[in-house]
Amino acid sequence: MSPTVLVPTLQQPQLEHPRQADRFGSSWDGSLATLLGLGRAAGADFVEFFLERVNYISVLAEDDTITSISPRLSTGAGVRVFRGGADCYVSTNNLSFEGLKAALDKALSVMGLHLPTNGVRTPEVNLELLRDYGADRGKDTWLDRCSSIREMGDVLLGATSAVDRKASHVQSRRAVYFRDWQEVLVAASDGTFARDVRLTQSVGCNLLCADGAQRSSISKREGDTSDPDFLRNWDYETHAEEIAESAGTMLYADYVESGTYPIVMANAFGGVIFHEACGHLLETTQIERQTTPFIDKKGEKIAHESLTAWDEGRSSHAFGTIDMDDEGMPAQRTLLIENGILKNFLSDRAGSMRTGHPRTGSGRRQNYTYAAASRMRNTYIAPGDCDVQDLFDSIEKGIYCKKMGGGSVGPTGEFNFGVDEAYLIENGKITKPLKGAILIGEAKEIMNKISMCSRDVSLAPGFCGSVSGSIYVTVGQPHIKVDSITVGGR
C-alpha cells in the first residue's frame, strides 16, 4: 500500500481533469486519487472507479439489402464502495470532478456513510504509475484502422450473395457484423491505476431453407479481438459454403428418436455445454448465492479423470481475451479442473472478499452501468490423448452432435441444449443425419461421463449473460465422448 498524502478538503472543488481528452490517461490521477481518499475518509473499506468510452456499430444484411445500421457512442463511469461484507455501485455519465464526486456521495450514503465536511484533512490515495496497455501495446490506432461503414455493407452483401449461390431451397439469408471498441480506466484505493483498449468484432450468417413441409436453419458466427483487419480478411465464400452444406443436409434429415445414448460432441462450439453446465458453477458469485453443487468440493473429484479444463484471458485473438480485467488485474491462466479434480474457482474482488478464494483476473462487466462480477473468459476442455476416430469406434449406436444450438441452464446446473446438426453413429460409423435432438442433463452427472477427449482442441466465440450483463467469451473443447445422456426428440 502506498503512503497517503493529506489534502485539505477545501481544495477539492478546484480539482479537475480533462473531460474532453482524446483518451483516458495519467492526467486523471490527481482528481481520482482525491476522490478515492474522500471515500476512505468517509469510512469505506475500499473504493473503486471504473471509467469507460464505447464506440459500437452493427450492420445487418437481409437477402440483398442492408436493412439496419446501428451505431452507439457512450461515455460513463461507475464507483463501487465496500464496507464490511457489503458493497454498493452507482453509475453516472457525468465525468466531471463534481459529477464523479456526486456518484461517490450517493454510493456512500447508501452504505450509511457521508463525505467529510470542508476543512477536514483527507488522505489522498497514491496511485501507481499508470499501467497503460492501450499505449504500450499499440492499441490506440485500432479504431481508425477498422473497416468503414461502406466496407461493412459491401462485405455483408457479398456474403448473402455467396449463400444464395451455394444453397438451394433458400427461404431467407442474413449476414450480421458488429464492431465494439472500448476504452477503460480503473482507479482504486489500493493504488490500482490501469488503462486498456479493447476491440471486439464478430460476423456471421444465418440460412433458412424450406422445401414443402421440410425446414432447416443453420447459423455460423466468427469472432476476434485485437485485429482491425478482421472483417477485410473474412473468407465469406468458405463460410457460405459450410452453412449451405449443413442446411442442405439437415433439410431432409429424419427426426431423432428420444432415448439415452452415448454421444460424440464436436470440438469448438461444442464447449458451450461445459461453459453453461459447469463453468458458471465455478464462479464465486454462485458460491455467494449457495447455488453451486461444487461449493465445498475444491480438491475433490467432480469429473471423469480424462477431463482437464482451463479458463484464461491470454489466447491470441480469442473472443474472451483481455489484457486486464475490469478491476485492473492483469490477465492470467486459471486451472479449473485437472484430471477430474476441482482445482480453482473464478473470483473477482468481491467474490474473493466474501468466499476467501483468490482473485483470478475474472472481474468483468458489460459496461459502466454494471459492477464487475466473477465471469469466464476463454473457457475450454484441454486436449486428451485420443484420435477422433477412437471416440467413434467406441460406440455401437449413438449420436454425433456436430453443431450445437441454443439452450438453457438452471441455477444449479440442470440444462437442455438443442443440436442444430446431428448424425446417427452405427458401429463406429457416421450414417444418416438427424434433426430435433435436445440434450438434457445435470452438470455434476455429465462431468463424470466425459470419458474420452481427442487432441483437436478448437475455440469458438460466444456471448454470456449473468449478473454483470452480457460479455464476450470463448467456449471450446476437443471432440469428446459422453458415455450416456438423455436425448429428447420425437
Q: Could you report the per-residue pLDDT of 466-477, keeping only the tens digit for each? A: 999 999 999 999
Element (H, E) at 243: helix 236-251
Residue 355 grid cell: 468466499
Rounded CA-CA distance 57/211 in Å is: 35
Percent of the chain predicted with pLDDT > 90: 89
Amino acid, single-letter form, for residue 37: G
- The structural domains of the chain, ordered by start, are 5-56+70-133 (no CATH), 140-186+195-254 (3.30.160), 259-488 (no CATH)
Q: Could you report the per-residue pLDDT of 404-455, keeping only the tens digit for each? A: 987 777 877 788 899 999 999 999 999 999 999 999 998 888 999 999 999 9
Query: Where residue 15 falls among pLDDT bands split at 50, 70, 90?
Result: low
Q: Is the pLDDT of residue 20 over 70?
A: no
Q: Is the dihedral of CA 220, 226, 230, 231 positive or negative?
A: positive
In 26-173, where does DSSP find H-type helix?
29-41, 97-110, 133-136, 142-145, 149-166
Cβ(256)–Cβ(435) below 8 Å: yes
pLDDT of residue 411: 76
Cβ(87)–Cβ(350) below 8 Å: yes
* 165: three-class secondary structure by DSSP: helix
Q: Could you report the per-residue pLDDT of 186-227, keeping only the tens digit for each? A: 999 999 999 999 999 999 999 999 999 999 999 999 999 999
pLDDT of residue 193: 98
